[in-house]
Amino acid sequence: MVLQFPSKRAAIYNDIPEDKWNDWRWQLSHRLNSVDDFGPIIPLTDSECKALNSQGLFRVDITPYFASLINPDDPDDPIRRQVIPRAEEIVPFTGMMEDSLAEDRHSPVPGLVHRYPDRVLMLVTTQCASYCRYCTRSRIVGDPMANFSRNEFDMQIEYLKKTPQVRDVLLSGGDPLTMAPKVLEELLTRLRDIPHIEIIRIGTRVPVFMPMRITDELCDMLEKFHPLWMNIHVNHPNEITQELADACDKLLRAGIPLGNQAVLLAGINDCVHIQRKLVQDLIRMRVRPYYLYQCDLVDGAGHFRTPVAKGIEIIEGLRGHTSGFAVPTFIVDAPGGGGKIPVMPNYQISASDHKVVLRNYEGFITTYEEPLEYKAHDPNTCSFCLSKRLEPGQEGVMGLLEGEDLFIKPVGFDELHDRGGGMHRLRADQDKWKPLGIGPVSK
């Protein structure tokens, strides 16, 4: 079956020859970024003109391909709002931060964010094909003068070589697919030379902003670095075109599994029905919805934020209502660097010692009878348990379940609760609260 999706080109580009239009270099060098550039394509509002003429604005640049998807007569067009700034963008808001995810604090070397035990985020460029107004990394992205240096790449690679717990490297930025192909290939080669790196991932919006960049040559190059996974970034069904579907098909034929990371944005996709159409169109292209993010508390993004409950409402409207693998996980990326936290509706209503009460998406309430006799899994005879390796300090709540720790407490807890007692006890303070008889899993 040949998939049919719409394809659009703004009238002023009608005379551009096909070979130019389909050349990603032409798209990059004809990007729109000023009141004058937009004039002939999209009549700008006062708010947009004001923003475009203001100082210190986060970089604006839009490929002619992506600009063509905007309905010029609609000031609230969902694509327009993602890439053309409005005056609200320059208004500060409560909770706003420059680096809301504290990525810089988690960086052992510039551009490498090591937040989770077994994987890292590697920022490989500051450049994108177009710039999203709600960019979570606007503090580093977009500056045409500042990019990562050869020396910084060397430091990133050195860190990875000496950090064997990293088995998954996620290339992002900026957008890795805007890099010179030779530079990207060299980077991938150097990563593949590190034996403990099992998988490489690329996070990119290039297929959405500039699908013509996904050439056969690029796919032939990427294919050499399997297992390679890719996440794209589509927020609204209007971004799904024949060009995007063809680019995804090429990547998939090169064996690259595709996921989608969307951001929940006020006035753009904060609607169950838009989201349902989005995920259904994505899976028609064989792109699996991966995450739906709550908008970060980042400078310039205040007017895009929704209540967190909007995300829960959207998941409520997807789970059960459409294909299970079309449902993304809704994520709040914790301000202050706590990382990604999934949030979802509650499906468990109650429980007893042998029964749970659950509800489905229709409100049907059921009971699941649990076994009265369950022979517990024995970690002492399981080879996987015996060879497990939790990252010290990052065992988390799982560490509590496995008996590595008895509690997790806030910083300053002991000092606050030290009322001077305890000296009369016989046992040393650090042993007093250990359970007598049941210890941690023996190793």
Ligand X SMILES: *Cc1c(COP(=O)(O)O)cnc(C)c1O
Binding residues vs ligand X (CB under 6 A): 113, 115-116, 119, 121, 170, 340
Whose Cβ is closer to ligand X: residue 108's or residue 255's?
A: 108
Contact by Cβ (8 Å): 230, 257: yes
Nearby residues of 177 by Cβ (< 8 Å), 6 or more positions away: 129, 184, 202, 204, 206, 207, 213, 218
Whose Cβ is closer to ligand X: residue 67's or residue 166's?
A: 166
Residue 141 C-beta: closest distance to ligand X, Å: 14
d(CA 173, CA 426): 57
Residue 116 C-beta: closest distance to ligand X, Å: 5
**Which one of the listed residues 77, 99, 128, 213 is annotated catalytic?**
128
**Which one of the listed residues 137, 205, 276, 305 is annotated catalytic?**
137
Told to judge if 219 belongs to the known catalytic residues of this protein, a careful annotator would answer no
Short-list 311, 340, 369, 320, CA closest to 103: 340
Whose Cβ is closer to ligand X: residue 113's or residue 292's?
A: 113
**Which one of the listed residues 277, 340, 359, 385 is annotated catalytic?**
340
Residue 229 C-beta: closest distance to ligand X, Å: 10
Whose Cβ is closer to ligand X: residue 288's or residue 340's?
A: 340
Residue 101 C-beta: closest distance to ligand X, Å: 6
Contact by Cβ (8 Å): 280, 326: yes
Whose Cβ is closer to ligand X: residue 28's or residue 279's?
A: 279
**Which one of the listed residues 135, 205, 213, 276 is annotated catalytic?**
135
Told to judge if 333 belongs to the known catalytic residues of this protein, a careful annotator would answer yes
Task: Report cis status (omega within 30 of 0) of the bond before 227.
Answer: yes
Told to judge if 213 belongs to the known catalytic residues of this protein, a careful annotator would answer no
Told to judge if 276 belongs to the known catalytic residues of this protein, a careful annotator would answer no
**Which one of the listed residues 134, 296, 299, 305 is annotated catalytic?**
296
d(CA 12, CA 41): 7
Residue 97 C-beta: closest distance to ligand X, Å: 15
Residues in the chain: 443
Per DSSP, the three-state class of 24 is helix
Whose Cβ is closer to ligand X: residue 119's or residue 213's?
A: 119
Residue 415 C-beta: closest distance to ligand X, Å: 31
Parallel/antiparallel/unpaired status of strands 112-113 and 348-352: unpaired
Nearby residues of 311 by Cβ (< 8 Å), 6 or more positions away: 264, 292, 294, 330, 332, 343
Told to judge if 116 belongs to the known catalytic residues of this protein, a careful annotator would answer yes
**Which one of the listed residues 116, 249, 271, 288 is annotated catalytic?**
116
Told to judge if 443 belongs to the known catalytic residues of this protein, a careful annotator would answer no
Told to judge if 205 belongs to the known catalytic residues of this protein, a careful annotator would answer no
Question: What does residue 438 show for φ and ψ, rounded to 5 degrees?
Answer: -105, 115
Told to judge if 374 belongs to the known catalytic residues of this protein, a careful annotator would answer no
Nearby residues of 369 by Cβ (< 8 Å), 6 or more positions away: 354, 355
Told to judge if 385 belongs to the known catalytic residues of this protein, a careful annotator would answer no
Told to judge if 49 belongs to the known catalytic residues of this protein, a careful annotator would answer no
Looking at the annotation, which residues are catalytic? 115-116, 119, 128, 132, 135, 137, 296, 333, 340
